Structure 1
Amino acid sequence: MSHPRTLLEPSRHQHRAPAGAEPPEGAASDWTVPQHWEELTDEDHWVWNTLFARQKTLLHDKVVRALEDGLDILNLSHPGVPNFEELNEKLGARTGWTIVAVPSVIPDDVFFEHLASRRFPAGNFMRTAKQMDYLGEPDVFHDVFGHVPLLAQPAVADFMVELGKLGLKAVELGEIERVARLYWYTIECGLAREDGRTKIYGAGIVSSFGETHYSLDSPRPHRLKFDLKRVLRTRYRPDEFQKTYFVIDRFEDVLDIVRENDFEAVCAELESQSDIDPKVARPDEVFGA
C-alpha cells in the first residue's frame, strides 16, 4: 500500500526536464528568472508563514542541530516568503552560496552546473492555500525551507558542490540514475545519528508534515546503515513515503561520502549487480544491528 504524501514535494532533480530542453520564455540560458518578490501576494506570504510555523514546531529536536542553526543564521523565521536578494547576502557571506530562481523543473546538466557553481535553483512560485498538503512540483517552500538552512553549514555546502561536479560527470558517463539515488537518499531523504538518536537532515522529509513522523517512528520502513554501493543500487519512489532510509553515523560525515570514493570505479563495479527493491533488506543491514 502506498502512502499519500503530505508536504513532501518531489525534488527538482528527480522530476527533471528532458535533456536538451530549451528554457521557457523569459528565462535565461541557465534557466534562471528574476524572483519578482514584490509580486508575491498576501496569500503567498500567509501560506509560507503557516507552513513554516507548523514545520518548525514539529521538527524541533527531530532534525540535526545544523538545520535549526541554519534557520536562525539566515533569519528564515522572518515573516513572509524570503527575498532571495536579502537571503543571498547572509548565505553568501557564510558559505559562498546563492539561491537562484527558476520557473520549473530543469535539465540535469543545468541543475548540476548550478550546484557545482554554488548556486541552488529554487522554484519561483508558492503553492496556494488549497495545495497546502500536496504539490506535484517543488515550490519555494520546499526548496528554501527544506534545502537552504543546511547550505549555511560548510560541510553540506561543500558536499553539494562535490555532488554537482559528480552529477556533471555522471551525465557524461550515462550514470545519472546512480547520482539520482545518492541525491535522493542523502539530500532529500537522509537520516543521521546525533546525540545517540536518529534525526532528519533530508529536505524532502524536513518539508513534509507526514513523513517527519513516518521516517523516525513508523515500524514500516527499513532504516539501514549507510553504504554507498547499497545506496547506488537501491531504487526509490519520489511520489510516496520511502520503504528504506539510509542512516549515516554522523551528520558531519556527509562530505566524506563523495570525497573518499571513486564514483566511476564504483559504478563500473556495480554494472554486473542487479538493482535492489527498497522494500527488501537483510537483518545485518539495519542500523544498530
Structure 2
Amino acid sequence: MEIGSGAPELAASSAYRQRRDEIAANAATYVPGEPIPEVEYTDAEHALWRLVSERLADRHRHLAAPEFNEAAERLGLGSDGVPQLHEVSDRLDQLTGFRLRPASGVVPFALFCGSLADGYFHSTQYLRDSVTPFYSTEPDILHEVIGHGSALADDRFANLYRLAGEAVRRVESEDAVQFIAKTFWFTLECGLLDSADGPRAYGASIVSSYGELEHFRSAEIRPLDIADMTHVDYDITQYQTTLYSARSLTHLEDVAGEFWASCDGTSIEKLLVVDI
C-alpha cells in the first residue's frame, strides 16, 4: 500500500472504484496453488504505469539506496506497461524463492507478515486512481511490485522479510504483533540507509511514492534503534515526521534482522513495559 503520501484526501472516482472492485474480485476467489489470474489492463492503465514508473526511476537514481536500485535492476520490471502478477512472481521465485499471491485489498498484518515466513507476498493487481497518479491511500500494484517486489529480488532484503514473518508467527499477543508491525513499518516500509550525500530510501512506501521521495529528508531522521521505536507513533496516511536510518545494509541486518530472529512475546513485553 502506498501510505504516507501526505497528499490531500480526495474522493476516489467512481470509475476507479468500479475498476478496482472488478479486479479485486478475481483475487477474492483465488485459491492458493492455482495459476494467478491475468488482468487485461487497458491502454490508460499501461500509460499510468509508464508515467509513474518512469518518474520514480528518475528519483531513485538520486534518492533510493544503491542496494535497492541494484535489486530493482535485478528484477527488471521495465516501464512499458503493467506487468502480470504471475510474471513477477515467477521472476522472484527464480531469484530469491519468493512468490506473489493476489490480494483483493488490505491484508491483516498478522496474515500478511506471517505469510512472508513461507515466502509468499500478498499483492493487489489493480492500479491507483488516474486522477491522483502520484499517490494512493490504498494498496495498488505500483506500490507493491515496484516497492516491495524490487526489494524481494535481493537475497538480503528477502531474508529480512522472512525473519519478520517468522517473528509474527512466533509471538502470541496482539501487543507483540503490533510492535513487530511498527518495526516493519520503520524499516521495510519506510527505512533509510546512510550514504555520503545524505540518507537514501529503501523502504517500499517511500520508494514507491513520488512525493515522499522529495520530502523524506525533511523528517526527523534518527539512528536505527528498535527500543526507540516504542516511543514513536506513526500515521500511515501522511508523510512520516520521524524516520530511522541504518548505517548500512549490514547494520540493518544486525539490528532489525537480529531483533526479528530472536524476539518473542517476553522480550517485546519488556521493551513495552520500559516504555511505560
TM-score (norm. length: structure 1): 0.79
AA aligned to 1:27 is: T
AA aligned to 1:263 is: C
Q: Tell me the matched-pair count.
A: 254
Q: 1:146·1:203 contact (CA, 8 Å) conserved in 2? A: yes
Q: 1:102·1:123 contact (CA, 8 Å) conserved in 2? A: yes
**Corresponding position: 1:134 with 2:135:** yes
**Corresponding position: 1:58 with 2:59:** yes
Q: Which residue of 1 aligns with 2:208?
A: 207
**Corresponding position: 1:36 with 2:38:** yes
Q: Which residue of 2 aligns with 1:238?
A: 236
AA aligned to 2:129 is: T
Q: Which residue of 2 aligns with 1:256?
A: 254
Distance 1:202 1:28, change over 3 A: same
1:115-134 aligned within 5 A: 115-134=116-135
Structure 2: gaps (5+ residues):
9-23
Structure 1: gaps (5+ residues):
8-22, 276-289
Q: Which residue of 1 aligns with 2:178?
A: 177
* Identity rate, percent: 23
3-state secondary structure, aligned to 2:63? coil
AA aligned to 1:134 is: Y
More helix by share: 2
Distance 1:270 1:61, change over 3 A: same
Q: For 1:115 and 1:244, how far apart are their aligned partners in 2?
A: 26
Tell me how far 1:69 sits from its aligned partner. Answer: 1.6
Q: Deviations over 1:167-219 (max 9, x none)?
A: 22235564121011101100111111134631111111111122112112x2x
Q: 2:7·2:238 contact (CA, 8 Å) conserved in 1? A: no
Q: For 1:40 and 1:94, how far apart are their aligned partners in 2?
A: 26
Q: Which residue of 2 aligns with 1:247?
A: 245
**Corresponding position: 1:27 with 2:25:** no
Q: For 1:192 and 1:252, how far apart are their aligned partners in 2?
A: 10
Q: Deviations over 1:52-107 (max 9, x none)?
A: 01111122121111221222222211411112222223221111111221111122
AA aligned to 2:38 is: H
Comparing 172-181 and 258-267, the one that deviates more = 258-267
Q: For 2:35 and 2:124, how far apart are their aligned partners in 1?
A: 10
3-state secondary structure, aligned to 1:181? helix
Q: Deviations over 1:101-127 (max 9, x none)?
A: 111112233212321111111112112
Q: For 1:71 and 1:259, how far apart are their aligned partners in 2?
A: 21
C-alpha RMSD over aligned residues = 2.6
Q: For 1:125 and 1:254, how far apart are their aligned partners in 2?
A: 32
Distance 1:35 1:183, change over 3 A: farther
**Corresponding position: 1:113 with 2:111:** no
